[in-house]
């Protein structure tokens, strides 16, 4: 036997085996990578890439149909689907139905997190009765209600999360810094905004044709501040600049100032000529009007959209709007998944910019990129966004245009009523229509009745724990009174008269049956 030849054959076999095993491992890893990336073979034997669809719902445990086929799993589910549009239907016994078309992109995750089902036969209960309201405001985190009755000297700060309401009564004298009961009872109050911690509110107090700005501390009312009196200035607008509301942006006579309550200071004018302003914490965006002089010495009015950041020495130009000559102008700012955005409308032109707010210290130029620029057939009068700041909506009577910062899609929605629209949560719009409240998703889909047989247009709230839907019912009640002709307490022989009083009944529906 030729030992050298035998050994050579053995070595060759070992090498070939190792090569085969290595190629097999590479092939397996490659196949697993393709599977992880959503690739699969279609019915024609071709390789195609799928996308992952995630579906969650409130309440969970709902049945899911995709393209007419009932899925084995219930919400929440993950499902690999071919790229393109798919019909999704979600149902649960005792609840209404939610369905829409969903676009799945190859190799990407599509997360549908706004599916909300409401009971078909909701159980409604009266939880509290109040005298006629002069102030109703639900907190931005959907946990609390601020209520003040007409002719009352108190505010009621009500926690809505539990089965039983927890109410803290606050003396208006601690907030308005006056002991005059007549003044307290006649005070006209309105909530401008809540801070992010939802323990302070910015109030307007109107009396004797004077508007005063109040920062009310709901946990320590004695620490509330009358900003108008403290700084002895007439403010056009005030914006909360941080979570604790220790810093505020203020516009006075067209001048932008920064209030720092930690040291009770107000800055000199940062910017002048401001007409409209909004902010995202320490960054403000505004429409500024000024006068420019050309080479011939002729003056003309100019209008600029600019941003200003706390701590910087100057403003940054975003857009020159002089030619637009805006008569209807709105601005909103936000941050979604670390990406900053600025959205504005000038007359009937809507522009949405994303990226990073410009910094004066670096270049002073606009570094935002255009995600949407289009003309619509109406001039928006209201702009709003949600707490998550994923969706922004422009509205006017009977119309809404919404934009999704995750998908960069926009939706034109024709409403059935010209009443104002509001956010029920981060994805659902509600409004009053004749004698009912209706809802629809931010893209216009899943139009449904939410509350029937109501003719008042008062705020409603879906609580943060997804347990309750709160709303008000207004009732007129006839009260029999007995008086003498002189108005003194009557005897049995005097006649009875009827008067009407208005009561506000706080109702709620349980969402998880």
pLDDT at 39: 55
pLDDT at 37: 52
What's the whole-model pTM score?
0.86
pLDDT at 50: 85
H/E element holding 202?
strand 200-207
pLDDT, one tens digit per residue, over 493-511 is 444 556 668 899 999 999 9
Of 114, 94, 192, 132, nearest in space to 504 by CA: 132
At a CB cut-off of 8 Å and minimum separation 6, what does 335 contact?
A: 280, 341, 389
pLDDT at 494: 47
- Rounded Cα distance, 177 and 226, in Å: 8
Residue recorded with tokens 């589910």: 77
Please give the mean pLDDT across all residues of the chain.
89
pLDDT, one tens digit per residue, over 150-182 is 999 999 999 999 999 999 999 999 999 889 999
pLDDT, one tens digit per residue, over 416-427 is 999 999 999 999
pLDDT at 491: 47
pLDDT at 194: 97
Query: Which parts of the chain register pLDDT below 50?
Result: 34, 484-487, 490-495
- Rounded Cα distance, 161 and 142, in Å: 9
Cα separation values, 333 from 180, 286, 357, 367, 393, Å: 41, 11, 10, 15, 12
| Sign of the Cα pseudo-torsion (25, 30, 33, 34, in order) | negative
Residue 356, token pair as written in the block:
């990073």
Of 465, 389, 399, nearest in space to 431 by CA: 399
């Amino acid at each position: 036997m030729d030992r050298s030849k035998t050994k050579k054959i053995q070595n060759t076999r070992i090498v070939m085996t190792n090569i085969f095993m290595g190629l097999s491992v590479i092939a397996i890893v490659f196949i697993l990578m393709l599977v992880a990336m959503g690739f699969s073979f279609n019915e024609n034997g071709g390789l195609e890439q799928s996308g992952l669809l995630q579906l969650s719902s409130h309440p969970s445990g709902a049945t899911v149909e995709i393209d007419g086929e009932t899925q084995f799993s219930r919400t929440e589910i993950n499902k690999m689907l071919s790229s393109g549009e798919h019909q999704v239907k979600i149902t649960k016994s005792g609840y209404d139905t939610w369905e829409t078309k969903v676009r799945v992109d190859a190799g990407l995750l599509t997360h549908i997190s706004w599916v909300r089902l409401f009971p078909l036969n909701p159980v409604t209960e009266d939880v509290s009765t109040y005298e006629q309201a002069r102030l109703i405001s639900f907190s931005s985190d959907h946990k609390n209600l601020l209520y003040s009755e007409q002719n009352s000297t108190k505010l009621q700060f009500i926690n809505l999360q539990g089965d039983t309401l927890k109410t803290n009564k606050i003396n208006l004298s601690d907030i308005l810094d006056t002991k005059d009961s007549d003044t307290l009872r006649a005070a006209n109050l309105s909530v401008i905004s809540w801070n992010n911690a939802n323990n302070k509110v910015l109030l307007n107090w109107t009396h004797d044709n004077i508007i005063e700005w109040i920062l009310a501390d709901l946990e320590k009312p004695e620490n509330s501040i009358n900003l108008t009196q403290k700084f002895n200035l007439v403010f056009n607008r005030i914006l909360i600049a941080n979570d604790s509301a220790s810093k505020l942006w203020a516009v006075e006579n067209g001048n932008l100032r920064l209030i720092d309550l930690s040291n009770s200071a107000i800055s000199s004018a940062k910017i002048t000529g401001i007409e409209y302003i909004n902010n995202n914490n320490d960054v403000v965006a505004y429409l500024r009007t000024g006068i420019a002089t050309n080479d011939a010495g002729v003056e003309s009015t100019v209008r600029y959209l600019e941003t200003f950041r706390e701590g910087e020495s100057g403003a940054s130009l975003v857009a020159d709007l002089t030619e637009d000559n805006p008569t209807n102008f709105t601005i909103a700012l936000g941050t979604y998944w670390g990406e900053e955005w600025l959205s504005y409308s000038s007359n009937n032109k809507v522009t949405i910019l994303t990226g990073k707010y410009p910094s004066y210290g670096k270049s002073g130029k606009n570094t935002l990129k255009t995600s949407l620029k289009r003309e619509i057939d109406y001039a928006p009068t209201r702009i709003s966004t949600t707490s998550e700041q994923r969706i922004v909506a422009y509205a006017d009577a009977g119309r809404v245009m919404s934009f999704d910062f995750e998908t960069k899609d926009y939706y034109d929605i024709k409403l059935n009523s010209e009443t104002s629209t509001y956010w029920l949560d981060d994805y659902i719009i509600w409004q009053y229509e004749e004698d009912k409240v209706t809802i629809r998703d931010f893209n216009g889909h899943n139009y449904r009745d939410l509350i029937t047989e109501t003719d008042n247009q008062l705020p409603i709230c879906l609580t943060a724990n997804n347990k309750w839907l709160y709303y008000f019912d207004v009732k007129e009640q006839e009260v029999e009174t007995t008086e003498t002709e002189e108005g003194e307490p009557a005897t049995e022989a005097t006649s009875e008269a009827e008067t009407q009083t208005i009561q506000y009944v706080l109702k709620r529906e349980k969402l998880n049956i």
